């Protein structure tokens, strides 16, 4: 009898232990495949990613801003799960690929599934349906988050290979850093000439970028990344957002754009609350540009979310009158928690609830009326 109890206990222990093992397969099990959408369909989608922007980062920005952010205008909110095919805690390449293509992949991979097969992104579907497309980031435009919408490479570190994806079928408008990946390459090629040959206006300064009203635009505002807000980036992101939206709105077929507040994540990695907060507020100013556009336009859906949380940031104190924030961090890396989704405009009601990051792609596809076989 005693022995039976012992063996039963051992068996239960074994089941528990094997159930806790995080294999590539086990991370994939609860990804839903069917997404239904309802309500009015948007003509344009503005997708905004605050890299590393968890609820604490949002509320830290809100507190520093004395209680409010522009993104509060979004009446519909949800939560998304961010785990990747390889890890409980994702990186920006796998989560970017999940949101862009609806496919879970391993950390580090861009635009490919776990077997190495290319997966088509929402930006590519939009482009192939004749919509105008855009990418805006404060990091290099070749960095993981923007690259996950256009590139198909085994490693997010293949910056020079990623730059090639902007040449032949690139977005109509892209603004960010990363000039060196086009102009100062190891292979000696000058991809800026190739961009010009494809009809792009290639511009390096925000002052000149802002003057552009139509056509194809490659705005490469820094050799690598744009500086942090704390080192004088100024209004690059809100201005790039307004410029890109103005250009893309010329297309009667509509548009898709992804706009990233890239450096909220870097503030989290540095466990630097001032870095996090200044980047959060800058991202929220870009959100204002998007929401103002959407309000005026009436046919534009704005979805704002993160790819994961960074820093395990907690708010241990603060003051809504003075804007003081007392933050603490649990890690220099990313964390596994679900991240918020905020939505505004036609179709926004479809973003409530708790769902997988891959469902964002499926919701966009359904709202545009695209089929995965197109």
Write out the catalytic residue numbers: 92
What contacts 157, CB < 8 A, 6 or more positions away?
108
Partner that binds at residue 145, options Mg ion, Zn ion, none, CB closer than 5 to 8 Å by kind: Mg ion
- Cβ proximity to Zn ion: between 147 and 195 the closer is 147
145 scored as a contact of Mg ion (CB under 5 A): yes
Q: Which residue is nearest to Zn ion (CB)?
A: 265
Instruction: Give min distance, CB of 153 to Zn ion, in A.
Output: 18
d(CA 24, CA 129): 34
Instruction: Give min distance, CB of 308 to Zn ion, in A.
Output: 7
Would you give the binding string for Zn ion spanning residues 206-245, x where CB under 5 A is met?
----------------------------------------
The β-bridge partners of 201 are: 217
Instruction: Give min distance, CB of 100 to Zn ion, in A.
Output: 17
Q: Which residue is nearest to Mg ion (CB)?
A: 145
Return the range that interacts with Mg ion (CB under 5 A); candidates 92-100, 105-113, 118-126, 294-302: 92-100
d(CA 122, CA 134): 11
- Cβ proximity to Mg ion: between 35 and 109 the closer is 109
Q: Report the 10 Å Cβ neighbour count for 81.
A: 18
DSSP string, 266-300: HHHHTT-HHHHHHHHHHHHHHHHHHHHHHHHHSSE
Among 92, 271, 289, 357, binds Mg ion (CB under 5 A): 92
Number of residues that bind Mg ion (CB under 5 A): 4
- Cβ proximity to Mg ion: between 51 and 272 the closer is 51
Return the range that interacts with Mg ion (CB under 5 A); candidates 7-15, 69-77, 225-233, 261-269: 261-269
265 scored as a contact of Zn ion (CB under 5 A): yes
124 scored as a contact of Zn ion (CB under 5 A): no
- Cβ proximity to Zn ion: between 147 and 343 the closer is 147
d(CA 143, CA 163): 10
Number of residues that bind Zn ion (CB under 5 A): 1
Category of 178 on φ-ψ map: left (φ > 0), alpha (ψ -120 to 50) or beta: left
- Give the distance, in angstroms, between the CA of residue 215 and the centroid of all CA atoms in the same chain: 24
Instruction: Give min distance, CB of 268 to Zn ion, in A.
Output: 7
- What counts of helices (H) and strands (E) characterise the chain? 14, 14
Return the structure tokens found at 354: 């708790």
59 to each of 4, 48, 64, 277, 332, how far by Cα in Å?
A: 54, 17, 8, 9, 20
Binding site for Mg ion (CB under 5 A): 51, 92, 145, 262
Binding site for Zn ion (CB under 5 A): 265
């Amino acid at each position: 009898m005693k022995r039976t109890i012992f063996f039963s206990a051992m068996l239960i222990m074994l089941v528990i232990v094997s159930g806790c093992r995080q294999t590539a397969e086990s991370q994939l099990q609860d990804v839903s495949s069917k997404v239904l959408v309802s309500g009015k369909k948007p003509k344009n989608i503005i997708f905004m990613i605050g890299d590393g922007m968890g609820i604490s980062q949002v509320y830290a920005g809100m507190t520093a801003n004395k209680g409010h952010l522009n993104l509060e205008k979004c009446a519909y909110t949800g939560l998304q799960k961010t785990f990747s095919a390889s890890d409980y805690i994702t990186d920006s390449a796998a989560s970017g690929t999940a949101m862009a293509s609806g496919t879970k992949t391993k950390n580090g991979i861009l635009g490919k599934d776990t077997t190495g097969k290319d997966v088509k992104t929402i930006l590519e579907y939009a482009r192939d349906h004749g919509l105008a497309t855009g990418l805006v980031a404060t990091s290099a435009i070749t960095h993981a988050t923007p690259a996950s919408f256009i590139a198909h490479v085994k490693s997010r570190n293949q910056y020079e290979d990623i730059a090639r994806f902007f040449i032949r079928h690139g977005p109509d408008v892209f603004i960010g850093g990363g000039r060196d990946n086009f102009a100062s390459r190891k292979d000696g090629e000058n991809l800026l000439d190739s961009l010009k040959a494809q009809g792009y206006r290639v511009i390096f300064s925000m002052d000149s970028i802002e003057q552009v009203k139509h056509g194809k635009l490659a705005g490469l505002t820094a050799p690598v990344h744009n500086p942090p807000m704390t080192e004088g980036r100024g209004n690059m992101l809100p201005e790039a957002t307004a410029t890109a939206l103005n250009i893309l709105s010329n297309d009667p077929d509509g548009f898709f754009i992804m706009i990233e507040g890239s450096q909220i994540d870097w503030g989290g990695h540095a466990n630097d609350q001032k870095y996090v907060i200044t980047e959060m507020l800058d991202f929220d100013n870009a959100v204002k540009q998007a929401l103002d556009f959407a309000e005026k336009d009436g046919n534009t859906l704005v979805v704002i979310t993160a790819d994961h949380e960074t820093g395990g940031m907690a708010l241990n104190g603060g003051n809504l009158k003075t804007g003081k924030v007392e933050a603490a961090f649990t890690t220099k890396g990313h964390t596994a928690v679900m991240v918020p989704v905020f939505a505004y405009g036609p179709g926004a009601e479809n973003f409530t609830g708790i769902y997988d990051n891959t469902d964002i792609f499926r919701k966009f596809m359904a709202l545009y009326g695209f089929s995965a076989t197109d």
